Amino acid sequence: MEFTEKRKLWKKINALTPQKMELAHRLLEQIRAGGDVMALIRRHPLAEGGYLNKAALVAAYKELVDSGAMEPDTALLEKIRMKPMRTLSGVTTVTVLTKPYPCPGKCIFCPTDVRMPKSYLPDEPGAMRALEHQFDPYAQVQNRIRALKNLGHPTDKIELLILGGTWSSYRRDYQEWFIGRCFDAMNELEKLPSLEPQRQELLDSSLLPEIHSINENAAHRNVGLVIETRPDEINPDEIKWLRHLGVTKVQMGAQSFNDHILEINKRGHDVESTRQATALLRAAGFKIVLHWMPNLLGATPTADREDFAQLWNDFCPDEIKIYPNQLLANAELYEYWQRGEFQPYTTDELVQLIADIKPSIPRYCRVNRVIRDIPSNNVVEGNRRTSLRQDVHEEMKRRGTRCQCVRCREVKNKTVELSSLQLDDHVYQAGKAEEHFISFNIAEDGLAGFIRLSLPSAGSPDTGISDLAGAALIREVHVYGQSLAVGAEKSGAAQHVGLGTRLLEEAERVAKQNGFEKLAVIAAVGTRGYYLDRGFERGEYYLVKKI
């Protein structure tokens, strides 16, 4: 059955008839009284078979609140919210894919499918949604926001994650149009005058700042904009262009820190390109995500352990994605395997490898993923488990080791007692910059919030951007816990208790102590107001503040 047909069938099955709505109302009252959500759902099967799902409960809750029959109840919504982990990091991520387009890379491990941008497969979850909407950015964002709302998630703080091959290889007019339409969806604007059908994929450059400006006070504010590209695409001109678009975070495929491995896998760039790109992005205040791939052609588990350690020499990414190489039939690597020149690691080999390296990850880095979300039916040989992270954590628990990365320490839904918070300044050298990972922590090493402050030196790359001349850089401010609506408060939650302001004050103190007279922040479009309220002023590409 095609994906679209499955979606239609699912919607039909879960359509809220009056009878289902009445049952949902009864269940909500029992849940409010302390009943267990899943136990109550199972206790009330539907006449036609099956059970109500949480989405039905969320819809019934919203109907009651909108009609005035029920006061908003945050605790109740938390109980019935589907997949709460999606927003426990403090923001709501919306993923969109660009259209199929040629990639400058010739990597032998990368799958090729004419229906998809390079490296993506049509049955990956995000790719399926993009294909359903014919890669239209407005439709992708609009429908994803609607779906998240229906699952009970707040959608006023959106991190926009743009995937699809190499962003920098797309035409710039397409990039501008694509981002403009994503913002239109967040701004809830159907169409602006310059976006008529006959001018699809064209956008007057002077219009994007206007679209951005609307988002500063929109219902769905953009608090982060992420693109993925190659290290050899990063230069000062590209940096300025990314800031024009509103980009705040850049993902790059480092893949390996061994030039020989990069060469035989036809990656098309060397380690020095990754080093220079990382340094330039850091000097421009971007958050940096590096992809690392064990089990490439020519690698061994022992060599991969040594290679991973290179991440923390000069590169020092803020976030990483561990993407074990997977053998796919529509990749050139398949031919090497057929000739007996390549052998994928087993699941156990991967678990042992990642369990070995994960405890070595510094406290300032977040591990976003430990495997690609590729359905197992696409994998020819080797690991097919997509639950590799859980397998690794179980192995680490058996060994008595732990990971101290940002993701593993986030407070998530834990109660935060402000009086018990401890301030920590973790200082490390990243290339020519001195980095300060300033954080508030609760007992048992829980991370409630942090700020990334970068102090460039005379040897840091020159970005050519006047906003950054002589400035200390704030690259990220993040407060954890379940994402709350703008202006909302929740007892014991890390968000909305002033931690961000206190972190900014500490960063300003550290910068001033180190001889800087100016702060610059790489603010996402929807967070500009937050910084403007705290003494920053608008520059050309950044918000700046004299200290």
Say if residue 168 is in the same domain as residue 210: yes
Q: Which residues contact 77 (CB under 8 A, 6 or more apart)?
A: 58, 61, 152
Is 536 domain-assigned? yes
Task: From 80, 101, 127, give the residue that closes a domain.
Answer: 80
- 19, β-bridge pairs: none
Which pLDDT belongs to residue 191? Answer: 56
| Structural domain for 468, as ranges | 418-546
Q: Where residue 466 sits, what CATH number does that domain have?
A: 3.40.630.30
Same-domain check for residues 225 and 159: yes
On whether residue 221 sits in a domain, the answer given is yes
Number of domains in the chain: 4
CA dihedral 171, 177, 178, 184 (to 10 degrees): 170
H helix and E strand count, the chain: 19, 14
Assess whether 367 and 450 both reside in one domain.
no
Least confident of 58-67, 176-185, 291-300, 450-459: 58-67
385 plus 443 within the same structural domain: no
**Distance from first CA to last CA of the chain, Å, rounded?**
61
Question: Is the same domain home to 529 and 448?
Answer: yes
In this structure, the answer to whether residues 195 and 287 fall within a common structural domain is no
Q: Return the SS3 of 428.
A: strand
Cα–Cα nearest to 187, from 222, 230, 154: 222
The verdict on 393 and 261 lying in the same domain is yes
Q: Are residues 491 and 479 in the same domain?
A: yes
Give the pLDDT of residue 262: 98
In a domain, 245, yes or no: no
Residue 4: its pLDDT value, please?
Answer: 46
Is position 308 within any domain? yes
Q: Examine residue 244 and state whether it is found in any structural domain, yes or no.
A: no
What is the distance between the alpha carbons of residues 373 and 369, in angstroms, rounded to a whole number? 9
* Rounded Cα distance, 291 and 164, in Å: 14
| CB-neighbour burial class of residue 312 (10 A; exposed 0-12, middle 13-18, buried 19+) | middle
In this structure, of 154-168, 197-211, 390-404, the range with the lowest mean pLDDT score is 197-211
φ, ψ of residue 43 to 5 degrees: the values are: -75, -10
Of the residues 408, 426, 456, which one is the last residue of a structural domain? 408
464 and 493 belong to one structural domain: yes
Which residue type sits at 414?
K
Specify the amino acid at residue 89: S
Q: What's the rounded Cα separation, in Å, for the pair 256 and 307? A: 7
| Beta-carbon contacts of residue 248 (< 8 Å; ≥ 6 apart) | 224, 225, 226, 286, 287, 522, 523, 524
Structural domain includes residue 473 = yes
Residues 56 and 105 in one domain: no
Q: How many residues does the chain have?
A: 547
Q: How many other CB atoms sit within 10 Å of the CB of residue 34?
A: 7
> Which of 123, 180, 188 shows the shortest CA–CA distance to 377?
123
- pLDDT for the residue numbered 356: 98
pTM beyond 0.75: yes
Residue finishing a domain among 30, 54, 80: 80
pLDDT score of 485 more than 80? no
Tokens 């954890």, residue located:
480
Mean pLDDT of 352-376: 95
Distance CA 160, CA 487 (A): 21
* pLDDT score, position 7: 46
Please give the single-letter amino acid code of residue 506. Answer: E
Instruction: State whether 476 and 491 are in the same domain.
Output: yes
Residue 27 token pair: 């269940």
* Domain presence at residue 238: no
Q: Per-residue pLDDT tens for 387-446?
A: 999 999 999 999 999 999 999 999 976 777 888 899 999 999 999 999 999 999 998 889
Q: 523 and 477: one domain?
A: yes
Q: 3-state secondary structure string, 240-277?
A: HHHHHHCCCEEEEEEECCCHHHHHHCCCCCCHHHHHHH
Is 242 domain-assigned? Answer: no
Contact criterion met (CB below 8 Å) for 506 and 202: no
